[in-house]
Amino acid sequence: MKDGSNYLRTNEQWSLKHADGTVLAPEITATLCMDFETNAKFVWFYVPDITGVDCSEMLLLNKIEEILDWPRTKVGVIGGFEGEQTHGTDLTFTGRITFYSEKPVRPEWKEQMIREAQRVGHHLTFRSIDYRDMRNKLEKPLAFNSHDSRDKDLIAGRLAIQLQKFMCPVWYDDFSLKVGDSLRESIEAGLKECPKCVLILTPNFLSNEGWTKREYDSVFTREVVEKQKLILPVWHDVSRDDVYRYSMILADRVAAQWSLGVEEVARRLVRALNG
């Protein structure tokens, strides 16, 4: 699957177990990234916060042999033009293993895992929530995430997290606001400064005459003043007629359909944001 960059990705869902065999939930997403231009492949893991487990990453490394076997033998992907094609199993595994974690990993545990991985010739990188927060402070968001608060958990939050996993910073209240900030001033600054605005159009959004309507009006005004298209629509459970009744202009914009899945929607937005 393309992720908006120059390599392909394939995912597997992995479960961790306690010593007594009990399966831990939720599952971990293992992602193999294949770059056919450089003949290389590497692995990412998205590690959720598993209740009762201090360091899921350490448990995951207990499966190191399975981790290393997967990119070597279980990649049924072929890339390249006819006559110059390369099979995924023939790409060189670089040894890069990156953990994207929902909670910070203690420094002493990181050091221990890095040393253990180095002994078998592999390189670990950790990208936990503290790294995300640091990037949000240092990097200017590429888009403002405009959504109805009722769609926050099931749609807007999942999309914002997926965009972060694709290394695409966005303005999203959980990421961009801190205690004491003025909500109005922060939102106005985000709407004014972000290069684009992702509008998550749902029945809740279209019926909201409050914040979301003002956010749409603001970014539309920017489009008129700056004479460029800034709005990237995402449609969830709305029809063209629904959107037309809300805004004729929005009905004419190509939208990403949420029915494609959060990864594909994020992938299409990344391509649009990267020009």
Quick: pLDDT tens for 125-165.
Answer: 988 877 766 665 556 788 999 999 999 989 999 999 898 87
Whole-angstrom Cα distance, residue 179 to residue 183? 10
Check 139, 215, 226, 264 and give the catalytic one: 215
Region 101-123: mean pLDDT is: 89
CB 257 within 8 A of CB 228: no
Whole-angstrom Cα distance, residue 131 to residue 185? 25
Whole-angstrom Cα distance, residue 151 to residue 139? 26
DSSP state of 120: T
The percent of residues above 90 in pLDDT, for the chain, comes to: 35
Region 85-101: mean pLDDT is: 80
Q: Which residues contact 193 (CB under 8 A, 6 or more apart)?
A: 140
Catalytic residue list contains 215: yes
Burial class (CB in 10 A: 0-12, 13-18, 19+), 183: exposed
pLDDT interval class at 1 (50, 70, 90): very low
Region 256-264: mean pLDDT is: 95
Which one has a higher pLDDT value, 246 or 60?
246
Residues forming beta bridges with residue 42, ordered by sequence position: 33
Task: Judge if pTM exceeds 0.85.
Answer: no
Tokens of 107: 């420094």
Phi, psi for 210 (deg, rounded to 5): -100, -115
Quick: pLDDT tens for 173-222.
Answer: 776 756 666 667 777 787 888 999 999 999 999 998 888 899 999 999 99
Reference 124, options 96, 93, 144, 90; nearest CA is 96
Q: Which residues contact 22 (CB under 8 A, 6 or more apart)?
A: none
Going 99 to 261 to 148 to 253, the CA torsion angle's sign is positive
Whole-angstrom Cα distance, residue 200 to residue 235? 6
Whole-angstrom Cα distance, residue 75 to residue 91? 10
Angle subtended at Cα 235 by Cα 232 and Cα 240, rounded to the nearest 5 degrees: 105
